[in-house]
Structures are given as C-alpha cells and as structure tokens.
Structure 1
Amino acid sequence: MHDTMKESGRTGPSKGSVPEKMKALQYSGPEKFAVVQIDVPQIGDDDVLVKISACGVCGTDLHYHKGEFLAKWPLIPGHEAAGTVAAIGKNVSNVSVGDRVATDPMQPCLSCFHCTRRKPLLCDSLTAFGGNVPGGFAEYCRYPARLVHPIGDLPDLEAVLVEPAACATHGIERMQIEVGSKVLLFGCGPTGILLAQLVKMNGAAHLTIASKGGPKLDLARKMNIADDYIAISDTSPRVQMDALASANPYGFDIVIEATGAPTVLEVALNYVRKGGKLVVYGVYDESVKIAWSPFKIWENEITILASFCSMGHIPHVMEYIKAGKLKLEGVVNKTFRIEEWEECLDVVRRQEVVKAAIAFD
C-alpha cells in the first residue's frame, strides 16, 4: 500500500481504511473540555496519519488545561503519542502504512531568527502538536512525516515514554556531565526516572535521588537506577535535607531540579559544589519567582542552566532502547479512556500514579 500510494500521488487513506469521523478530547477554552466527534484530519503530500494507540499524560497537560503555554483553542491535547501509520502522503518514504511509530510533537518553522542560527528549539513560531495544533488525545492525528519514528514491537505503554526520554536526552546534552561526576537529582517522577538512567550512562560516577516517598520513589528503588535514595518527608523535610548536606560537605558537581516545586529549586542551589552546575529541568508556573544570592553564584562560579524540551532526539532515544539500556517497563502504571479525562486529571494532580496514559482500542 505504501508504494501504491506513492505512485498514484494520493495524499489520503484508501477508501474504507480510515473512518471519516473520530472521537477526540477537545478544549474550547481553559478548563472547558468535552469528548467530541470530529472529522479525521486530512493529510498533505509530506504528512502521515497516525492511528493513536496511547498517549502519555504530562505535567505540561495540566498547564494546557488552564490555558497556559502555547494553548490555542479549540485544542486537542496530547504530545506523547504512539500509534500505527494509517495513511501517508505521496512524498513520504521514511515510514509505511502499518508501521508502529512514536511521534515528535515539536515542529520548528526553520526560517525565523533562531532557526536560521541553528537553534530550532527556540523557534519564534513553534508548532506544538497537542498545544497549538491538534495532538494525540484523539483516535487519529496528522504529523509531518519527519516527526514520526518507527518503534518496531516496543509496547504502547513504553512507547509513550519515548518523547519524554527525548526531552531528557536533550537535558543530558545541556549538562555536559564530566566523567566521574557526583550528581543530585531532586524528583523521581517519570521524567526523573528517565533522567536518572541517562545521567548514569553519560558520565556520572554517583547519583543520589532525593524525592518525597511514595510509589515513584519505590519504583526508582525497584529499578535500581541510582546509588542513593533519600525520602524527603512532607512534614519535616528539613531533617532529611540537612542530613543530605552533612553527608556531602562539598556538595555535588551537578544538581538537577526536576520536581517543578519552586521551594525545592530555591534551596537546590545550596547543594551545588563550587564550580558546579544547577539544572532547571522542572516545569513551573510562569508567575513563579524565587530568590538566590547572586554573590554565592558569583563567588563559587556556579553555572545555572535550563533544559526546555527535545528537538529531534527520538532517534537517539531509540538507540538506547534497541541496546536494552533504557528501562521503561512499569513507569506507566495507570491508563484512562478520553471519556475518563476528569478522573485522570484528578489522579495526576494528586500524584497517585507514577505515570498515566490515555489509551485507545
């Protein structure tokens, strides 16, 4: 079918292979959503239509829910999608109908000030699938062919982690970890679990995870992805935080803040050793402000850097997966239908799951 469609120049699915209508979770405004029946997306010559199998739920989706970031109405969220190629445009050659794929949700314009200076991640006109164009919380989604990547027999609930792992891979590039480094990671949510594994494979001699106790930290221990695990109490966090400082009087070469909690980010600076790096990785409300001592940063020559998301890193992630180096099984531990979105939001807000995903038949 792949070759036939290319030769015939057809840009859509063959008649009868894809329905005309589909179910989708659609927002009409901040916190206003419904499951709707809408047209299946049309594709162009360079596009792919993906039948979505599953799509991960990310903390960013909670921001989109409130109308933040790139949210544009009407909005179909979902940026961690995996599925099967249902149709291809006539110019597409990298995938075939029937291929199972993971999707990259970020499409730079390639012509703005930043794109032309080889910084596409900072694009002024970024197209974000699941943000300002329809995403993966629907039965079908259109993507440019270059944004879909074959995943072979990788299970759906592991495939939805490919995109967040790509973000973590970009973070590793930003950190430039020196061989033999001591690293402290605050937070072990799904992103933290992926980051931890990549940190250990890319220069860190010793990794400490500090996180509130619960299923996420329990999973991190079970997966054996760090050298030390510190359970931070909700009621008396100062006890564990002081003990962490005492046990590491020279601090850490790299401290990664991946909780998204401003209070944690503010104190994280205190654990960076002289000449070390603080990595701002978590997602924070745009209105958040924190206080750091510029003298401390200056005197100790501390580098503060951030990692936004991925840009073209899925092939790198797939190399780790093919080599059996990146552990993904069990991270997604709860699935929901789009009709259960309200329940899913509540569970994610209350942090009762390690990772949730929307699943389709």
Structure 2
Amino acid sequence: MSTTMNAVCYHAPRKLEIITKPIPQINDDQVLIRVTCCGVCGTDHHLAEGEFIGKFPLVPGHEIVGIISQVGRSVKGLEVGERCVADNTILCDSCFFCRRGEYLLCENFDSLGVTTSGGFAEYVAVQAKKVFKIHNLTDEEATLIEPASCAIHGMDKLSPPVGVKVLVLGAGPTGLILAQLLKVNGASHVTIAANKGIKTRIAQDLNAGDAYVELDRADPAPQWEELRKQHPYGFDVVIEATGSEQVANDAINFVRRGGTLMIYGVYSDSARVHWSPAKIFGDEIKIIGSFAQTHCFARAVEYLDGGKINVKGMVTDAFSIKDYQKALDKMNSKGACKVVVKPSLDPEYSAQ
C-alpha cells in the first residue's frame, strides 16, 4: 500500500487545494478506513465560506463510508475488509455538559471533517467505537446514515405525540428522512413543501410525505396561500429544514396554536429571524433547535440498512476528489438532492 494519499484541503476559508499527504497512522483504539464514498453537506459549504469556525488546515468531509483497511491492536469486533460508516463526533466526556449527559453541548466538541481530518480523502483514521458495520446499502446510500442520525436526534427533541399533523419545509436529504421518520413514528399527516424541482420529485418517488406543495421559486405566494386555505388551523409541528432566513421567518405563521416550531436547517451566522413575542406568548408556541447528533448512529443504521427508511435515488451526483469544487457547485446549484465524493473516481459522473 502506498504511504501517501490524495485529499481535499482548506488552508483557510475559500483557499482550496487538492493535496498529497501521508496516510494516517492509527492508534491502538482506532481503525483505518479506506473511503469509498463521502457525502457533501450544507455544513461543507458554510465551512468553505468561513461561515462556520473550522480548524485549518482542514480535510473536510463528515459523512464517511468505506472499508476497514487496518485495525488497531486493542480493537475487537471489527475486521479488515468489512464495510462501515463512521460517526464523525468526538466528545471529551469530561466537560460540564458531558458530565451532565448533554453530550451534544460538549464544550470541546470535535468532528471529523469539521475540526479534524475527515473523509474527503482516500483514507481516514476513526475511533473504533465510532465505527458501524453496514450490509445492505450501497456506498452512495450509506452516506445518508449520518444525516439520518441527525434526523433521529431531531425526533428525540420533538418527541411528537401520535397523530400529529406536520409541515416539513424543505426536501433536502435530512428533510426527506425526517418526513419518513415522522410517518413511521405516528404522524397522521405529513406535508412537504419545497421549491419545484428534483428534490420534490424525489420526495414523491420515495413516498416521503402524504401531500406535497411545489413552490414557484420566482413567486411562491400563491402556493403558500393555498396551503393556508387547506390547513386553516396550521400544523401541530412545523420543521424548518431549508436553511433559508426568509422561510425561517415565515415558518412560525404555519404553526397551530399550542404547536411546535423546530429550527433544523443550516444557516449562516448572519441570518436573523423576527418573530412576534406576543404571538409566541399568546399562542403558546414552543420553539426548539436541533443541531447534529450524538449516539444516534446505531439507530440510523438500523433504520436505513434495515430498509425502514428509504433513501434510494437520493444521491444524484458523484465527483472525484479532484473535482471537489464542482461537487460544491453542484450542491449549491439546486439541481441535485445529494452529492457525494468518491475517491476512487477519476472522471465526474452522474450517480443516476
């Protein structure tokens, strides 16, 4: 095996280079994963633009799928050659919040691909306790396990009663997975509202919701008005999963009195909302946030690898490491649902 590998590297925001670097050396409690596929996420865009604080130089990529290449001396239960996914979170277990069991709020929270080297490379070293075997999913489909784990954390935060009516704003990968989780876990009706295009078509192909609202990008006002007419009392739960400041501002107007608004999208730090405290007070609206996940990977693997949640067709485009900027551009073009990077690829190709 070669001692070097290709990798995407940000030296600073907007300063991208494809580099050759040494293959990581693993500790006794780690495994070395040969990356076969790694998903591109909105977080990667915000990192690239400097809107999130990353630790540079940085190899990004946190939705990691691969094959175990080496196993540390103290690792048990994992073997060379097994297909796997990696939980990207790294927790200190000793800070104020970790000692309270609130791991997502860890004061020293690290993440593969955000604060330390991730999966847009040919190899990545991962703590063995964060590695999970997969069997039935393709490499492309398995990139959705990390987003699914985040969606499961969102469900934990929501704890929706059986029979709720839900509006999901946005049909990106996590929005589509959340919609399916809600249907599986007792929602009586799920409406998905998203801009007309490929994501809405995939949502319908997956049967992710019970009803769909296709929004005109240029003038969505008529569709919003029709949605209000169809649901005059609003929804028990509204999930804002677009990352759009404007949609986040409007989302509260679709929440039923006594209902819940969950802020789930990825936003720039400069985004602001302007909600009436009188409305929140008078309508007793609960507003909650859901960020990332910890300790949700096992359930995500069960849901996706077991076939309960359908992600077939969600990956629409794949690129090589050398075409990483094209992968980001494709994701931002609104013409894709899920974009992935495959280190073994040379030419760009369509996963469809």
What's the TM-score bracket when you normalise by the shorter of the two chains?
A: over 0.9
Out of 99, 110, 131, the residue aligned to residue 148 of structure 1 is 131
- The answer for the alignment partner of 2:349 in structure 1 is none
8 A contact 1:99–1:152 mirrored in 2 = no
CA contact (8 A) 2:135 2:305 kept: no
1:169 is displaced (CA, Å) by 0.6
Deviates further, 65-74 or 216-225: 65-74
Residue 193 (structure 1) shift:
1.2
Matched, 1:266 2:249: yes
Distance between the aligned counterparts of 1:81 and 1:105, measured in 2? 8
Q: Does 1:344 align with 2:327?
A: yes
- Structure 1 segments, 4+ long, off by >4 Å, are none
2:150 counterpart of 1:167: yes
Total equivalences in the alignment: 344
Q: CA–CA distance in 1 between the matches of 2:25 and 2:97?
A: 30
Percent identity of paired positions between Structure 1 and Structure 2:
42
Q: How much has 1:291 moved relative to structure 2? A: 0.4
RMSD: 1.0
- Which residue of 309, 327, 336 maps to 1:353? 336
5+ residue gaps in structure 1? Answer: 1-17
Bigger radius of gyration: 1
Deviation at 1:69, TM superposition (A): 2.2
Cα distance, 1:94 vs. partner?
A: 3.0
Q: Distance in 1 between matches of 2:184 and 2:223?
A: 27
Distance change (3 Å), C-alpha of 1:140 and 1:322: closer
SS at match of 2:188: strand
Q: Distance in 2 between matches of 1:322 and 1:329?
A: 11
The CA distance in 2 between the partners of 1:30 and 1:321, in whole Å, is 34
User: SS at the partner of 1:130?
Assistant: coil
Using the TM superposition, give the Cα deviation of residue 341 of structure 1 relative to its aligned residue in structure 2, in angstroms.
1.4
Residue aligning to 1:63? 46
Asked if 1:199 is matched to 2:182, the reply is: yes
Equivalence for 1:10: none
| Match in the other structure for 1:95 | 78
Task: Trace 1:28-43 onto structure 2 (pairs within 5 A).
Answer: 28-43=11-26
- Tell me what 2:233 maps to: 250
SS of alignment partner, residue 246 of structure 2 = helix
Q: Secondary structure at the match of 1:204?
A: coil
5 Å-filtered alignment, 1:303-342, equals 303-342=286-325
Q: Is 85-94 or 208-217 further displaced after alignment?
A: 85-94
How far residue 203 of structure 1 moved from its aligned partner, in angstroms, is 1.9
Counterpart check, 1:115 vs 2:115:
no
Mapped to 2, the partners of 1:67 and 1:261 lie a distance apart of 18
What SS does structure 1 have at the residue aligned with 2:167? strand
Report the more deviating stretch, 346-355 or 45-54.
346-355
Structure-2-length-normalised TM-score: 0.96
1:322 deviates by: 4.1
1:238 CA displacement: 1.2
What's the TM-score, normalizing by structure 1?
0.94
Q: Distance in 2 between matches of 1:319 and 1:349?
A: 30
Distance 1:184 1:133, change over 3 A: same
Q: Aligned partners of 1:94 and 1:196: how far apart in 2?
A: 34
Tell me the residue number matched to 1:84: 67
- Alignment of 1:25 with 2:14, yes or no, is no
Amino acid of the residue matched to residue 269 of structure 1? I
CA contact (8 A) 1:94 1:145 kept: no
Letter of the 2:125 partner, please give it. Answer: R
